[in-house]
Amino acid sequence: MSKPVSMQEMVSSRTEAAADDAEIMAKVAAFDTPSVGIFNKDGLGMDPALKHYSRDDADGLHPKASLKPGILPSVLHNIGNTPLVRCSRLAEAEGIKCELLAKCEFFNSGGSVKDRIARRMVEEAERDGRLIPGVSTIIEPTSGNTGIGLALAAAVKGYRCIIVMPMKMSQEKVDVLRGLGAEIVRTPTEAAWNSPESHVTQALRLEKEIPHAVVLDQYSNPNNPLAHYDGTAEELIEQCDGKIDYLVAGAGTGGTISGIARKLKEKVPGIQVVGVDPYGSILAQPAELNETDITGYQIEGIGYDFLPKVLDRTSVDIWRKSKDIDAFNMSRKLIRLEGLLCGGSCGSAMSAAVEFCKTLPADKRVVVVLPDSTRNYMSKFLNDAWMEDNNFIESQFDPELQAEWWFNEPVSNMPQNFPITLNCSISCEGAAKIMAKEDFNQMPVIGDDGQIVGIASEANLMTKMIQKKLKGTDPISGAVYKDFKQVDTTETVGNISRMLDKEHFVLVVSKQRCYTSEGEASEKLTIYSIVTRADVWTFMNSRKSGESTPAE
């Protein structure tokens, strides 16, 4: 009997085919048509025919907290009615006079604001017959939290669930999803939203291939913003007795901010809505705000390279851009000062809010939405080493170590070893033989243009060949990994020694400007050297005590 093909393998083998599939690519292109916005004032989300739920109906989707029964029928009934917490310690530490409140969405059953939309999208699809428990498969492209919300609903209600998620998203999210029984397909972080490899395209492709599969599509499903319009916003109005001056929230699909903003604008006179978007994303307005050299960001859940249809930018009065470093440090502050065990995008919203609040008088009230939990980022921003590795906090070195002569030397002062590299077209078999001959267990792989493609490791190569994921004749470029430490020639030996606590080697690269035609220059990274622990050790011992220059 042939081995079952995993979802990930199915997707990888179909990526090229997807490029040719006109039907899927047309659906993908439709993701970026904000002019037919779902939640615009006259869009589908505001259609009077759509169902709304009264807060006074205990069996509705958004009942008041006071209507909750003592024993819940399932954990899905513990979604919504999240606490609003005053952040006085943070306000004091930041010199803020106004009242700063946090809407803590990480108390939802699945740990995020997305549980709200997941339950609503599933239950509406059940109502209109699109989803049938035990028959349908739920598929969703997501940055993880909608996936967790859907997987939670799928576990409770009995659906197969497939989550398609970019590689960037944390391992913690993957583990929670697996725990909930979801199948996971990872897609390249750098894939543009409308490319054949993107999470959006892959999800639509799987929907076409798997019988009874449904993509609920948080990007254009009106129940995404409606969950916040009928639920989150009503809760805020009740919790604040109608007094809110500013609402601050990050935007991903835009469902949270658009849904809350629309209701607050209907019921709270004078409310101003502040949207937060990371540098590297294009959601903020005016467009000039988005101009930056930053191409990627580590914050998960907010920002996109297209305009989701559920995002109604007319409901946002002011946009603020956020940087990873400010966001992660603010999340850590929220945890330390307020005991709020929140995630990274909470820091994006809160750091923008804090800057904003500094200009406000004491009688103003600002509500900030905190979308998810620290649980998703235990190995990321909560971890000091991760923060140091990503230059989000200064490395904490022993002062005695820092006083050593070699500590602040640039790595370019170390003797340069001329690394041996592999061309990307060499076969896997050939690469394995070269590594054995040269006695290296990993080697950099270089493209025909001299640029670094990645690192080939003997262990990775062997595993893939044994598992028959690669043939010996396949080019080595298919077996490289890109998750390695890379520094430029000015990096200090001290910092590199710290990196080598965890890495086997650090790749030192130098930049070149390369003219491809007259007047057109591009930047090219080439390998300067590879530094291992043994190299640092030799360098440290190259100068005898009291000498001012390294020993010859």
Residue 114 catalytic? yes
Closest approach of Cβ 257 to ligand PLP, in Å?
A: 6
- C-alpha 37/C-alpha 304 separation (Å) is 16
Q: Which residue is nearest to ligand PLP (CB)?
A: 301
Nearer to ligand PLP, 320 or 364 (CB): 320
Nearer to ligand PLP, 143 or 492 (CB): 143
Query: Got the DSSP string for 117-173?
Result: HHHHHHHHHHHTTS--TTT-EEEEE-SSHHHHHHHHHHHHHT-EEEEEEETTS-HHH
Binding site for ligand PLP (CB under 6 A): 112, 114, 143, 145-146, 250-257, 300-302, 343, 345, 371-372
From 114, 173, 333, 380, active-site residue: 114
Closest approach of Cβ 501 to ligand PLP, in Å?
A: 30
Closest approach of Cβ 115 to ligand PLP, in Å?
A: 11
Nearer to ligand PLP, 137 or 253 (CB): 253
Take residue 539 and report the two structure tokens written for it. Answer: 């360098």
Closest approach of Cβ 26 to ligand PLP, in Å?
A: 24
519: left (phi over 0), alpha (psi -120 to 50) or beta: left
- Quick check: 240 and 84 in contact, CB under 8 A? yes
Closest approach of Cβ 258 to ligand PLP, in Å?
A: 8
Q: Report, in angstroms and rounded to the nearest whole number, the Rg of the chain calculated over CA atoms.
A: 26
Closest approach of Cβ 62 to ligand PLP, in Å?
A: 16
Closest CA to 312 of 260, 371, 356: 260
Cis status, amide bond into 286, omega within 30 of 0: yes
Take residue 253 and report the two structure tokens written for it. Answer: 């699909």
Nearer to ligand PLP, 201 or 253 (CB): 253
Take residue 542 and report the two structure tokens written for it. Answer: 């190259």
Nearer to ligand PLP, 234 or 372 (CB): 372
357: left (phi over 0), alpha (psi -120 to 50) or beta: alpha
Nearer to ligand PLP, 196 or 343 (CB): 343
- C-alpha 387/C-alpha 146 separation (Å) is 26
- C-alpha 162/C-alpha 65 separation (Å) is 32
Per the document, the length of the chain is 552
Residues paired with residue 526 on neighbouring β-strands, in sequence order: 510
The residues annotated with a catalytic role in the active site are 114
